[in-house]
Amino acid sequence: SSILRLINYFEPLAFVLRRVDGDVPAMGYLYGDLENAKKEIAVRFDGNAKKYGFIWDIIDERWNDKLKTPLHKAGYYLNPLFYYENKAELEEEVFVATVVQCAGRVYHDNDKLQDMIVAQLNMYTNGTDSFGSAMAIRQRKSTTIIPANWWAAHGTDAKELRKMAIKILNLTCSSSACERNWSAFERVHTKKRTRLTQKRLNSLVYVMFNKRLQWKYAQRKRDPLARKFVDDEPPNEWIEGEVSVEGQQQENITEEQDGQGENASDYDVEQDELAQAGVNEKKRALSKGSSSKSKRARTMEAEEESSDCEEEDDTAMQSMDDSSSDDGENEDNFLDDD
C-alpha cells in the first residue's frame, strides 16, 4: 500500500517533468499541467485532504516561489487547450493583467502596438472572427498541434496579438534541450580531435543531434517507464503478474524446444569434431606419403649417382689397361729392333 501511495503521489508529477524536459516548448503547458497534476492527485485519494494535503503544500511552495511568473501565467492564458476549458477561472484579472504586462515588456517603446494587442484580446476571449472558425474550435483540444502553431494558423485577424503569443508560447521552461546539444558537441569536439573546422564541427553536431531526435520520434509511442521485452523472451511473472496455465504450458514447450535445440547443437558439434579429425588424419597420411615418396626419390638419385661413378671408374680402368698394353707392345717392338 505504501508503494501504491508513492506512485499516486509522483506519477502525475512525472508527466509534468517529461513535458518540461522534452524538446517541445512548454511555456504554455507548465501552469496548466501542474493544476491538472494537483487535481489528479486529489482524485486518486478520493478527495481526502489528509492524505494529499502535504503534497499540495510542497508543490505550492515551489510553484509560488519560481513558477508563477507573468510569463507562465500569460502562457497558460494564451494556450487554447486550457483557456476555453477553464474560461471562468481564467477571466480573473490576474491572468489578463499578466498578458497586458507582457505586452508592455515586449513592446515597451511602442504604445500603439500595446493598445492594438489589448483591443484584440476580445476576439480571442470571445472566440470570434478567425478564432471562431470550425477548424479553430476543433483544433483547440488537439494534442498534435502545439499552441504556437494554432495561433499562427488561426490568429490572422489579430496579427499583433498573434505575434506576441507565438513569442511567449515558443519559450522553453528548462535548458535540457540545450544541454543535450552541448553533450553532442562535447562528443564531437574532443581533446584528440581539436583541428576540425567550424563548418565541419557544426555539421557533425547537426547530424548527431538530429539522429537522436529521429530515434526519439520512433520511440514516441512507447511508455518510458515500461521495460523493453525481447520478442523471443518468455513471460515473467515477476513483471507481468501471475502466469496463466496456457502461458506456463507455452513456457514448458519453449523450454523443451530449447533443450532439443541444445541437444541438436551438441550433436552438430560432435559431427563437426569428427569431420575435423578425419580431415586432419587425411592431412597426416598425405604428409607421410609425400615424405616416403621424397625418400624413395632421394634413394633412387643416390643409386643413379653411384652407378654413374662405377661406370666412370670402369671406363678409367679400361683406358689404363689399354694404355699399359700399348706400352708393352711398343717396348717389345723396340727390343726386337735392337
Do 151 and 276 have their domain in common? no
In a domain, residue 106? The reply is yes
The answer to whether 78 and 84 have CB atoms below 8 angstroms apart is: no
- Residue 60 inside a domain? The answer is yes
pLDDT at 175: 76
Q: Is residue 187 part of a domain?
A: yes
Query: Does residue 76 share a domain with residue 159?
Result: yes
Judgement on whether residues 190 and 166 belong to the same structural domain of the protein: no
Of the pLDDT bands very low, low, confident and very high (cuts 50, 70, 90), residue 40 is very high
Backbone angles phi, psi at 190, to 5 degrees: -105, 175
Q: What is the per-residue pLDDT for 307? A: 58
**Residues 161 and 286 both lie in one domain:** no
Query: What grid cell was written down for 220?
Result: 514516441
Same domain, 261 and 336: yes
Q: Where are the alpha helices (DSSP H) in 107-244?
A: 111-126, 134-138, 147-154, 159-169, 176-188, 198-218, 237-240
Q: Express each pLDDT in 275-307 by its tens digit.
A: 666 656 666 665 555 555 555 656 666 566 655
Size (the chain), residues: 338
| Same domain, yes or no: 165 and 23 | yes
Q: Are residues 164 and 184 in the same domain?
A: no
Closest CA to 132 of 119, 142, 144, 122: 122
The pLDDT of residue 205 is above 70: yes
Question: How far is residue 45's CA from residue 104's CA, in Å, rounded to a whole number?
Answer: 43
Q: How many domains does the chain have?
A: 3
* Boundary of a domain, candidates 142, 174, 206: 174
Tell me, what's the pLDDT at 217?
Answer: 78
- Nearest Cα to 202, choosing from 219, 232, 233, 181? 181
Q: How far apart are CA 183 and CA 156, in angstroms?
A: 39
Give the model's pLDDT for residue 230. Answer: 45
46 and 148 together in one domain: yes
Q: Which amino acid is at 244?
A: S
Write out the residue range of the structural domain in which residue 82 sits.
2-174
pTM above threshold 0.85: no
Please indicate, yes or no, if residue 244 is contained in any of the structural domains.
Answer: no
**147 and 181 housed in the same domain:** no
Residue 189: DSSP 8-state:
S
d(CA 181, CA 179): 5
Q: Is 234 within the bounds of a domain?
A: no
Phi, psi of 193 (to 5 degrees): -130, 75
Q: Which of 174, 206, 232 is the last residue of a domain?
A: 174
pLDDT tens-digit map of 48-61: 888 889 999 998 88
Q: Kindly state whether residue 243 falls inside one of the protein's structural domains.
A: no
Q: Phi and psi at residue 86, in whole multiples of 5°?
A: -120, 45
The residue among 174, 196, 231 that closes a domain is: 174
pLDDT grade, residue 137 (50/70/90)? very high
pLDDT, residue 154, reads 93
User: Do 188 and 157 lie in a common domain?
Assistant: no
pLDDT at 282: 61
As a whole number, mean pLDDT of residues 297-321 equals 57
Q: Evaluate whether residue 215 is within a structural domain.
A: yes
Residues with Cβ within 8 Å of 29's Cβ and at least 6 positions away in sequence, in order, are 19, 75, 79
Residue 16 shares a structural domain with residue 144? yes
Q: Kindly give the residue spans of alpha helices, DSSP state H, lying in the chain.
A: 2-21, 30-44, 49-62, 70-78, 80-83, 87-90, 93-106, 111-126, 134-138, 147-154, 159-169, 176-188, 198-218, 237-240, 245-337
Higher-scoring residue by pLDDT: 174, 322: 174
Both 211 and 276 in one domain: the answer is: no
- pLDDT higher than threshold 50 for residue 130: yes
305 domain-assigned: yes
Q: How far apart are CA 146 and CA 153, in angstroms?
A: 11
Structure-model confidence comparison of residues 2 and 268, the more confident one: 2
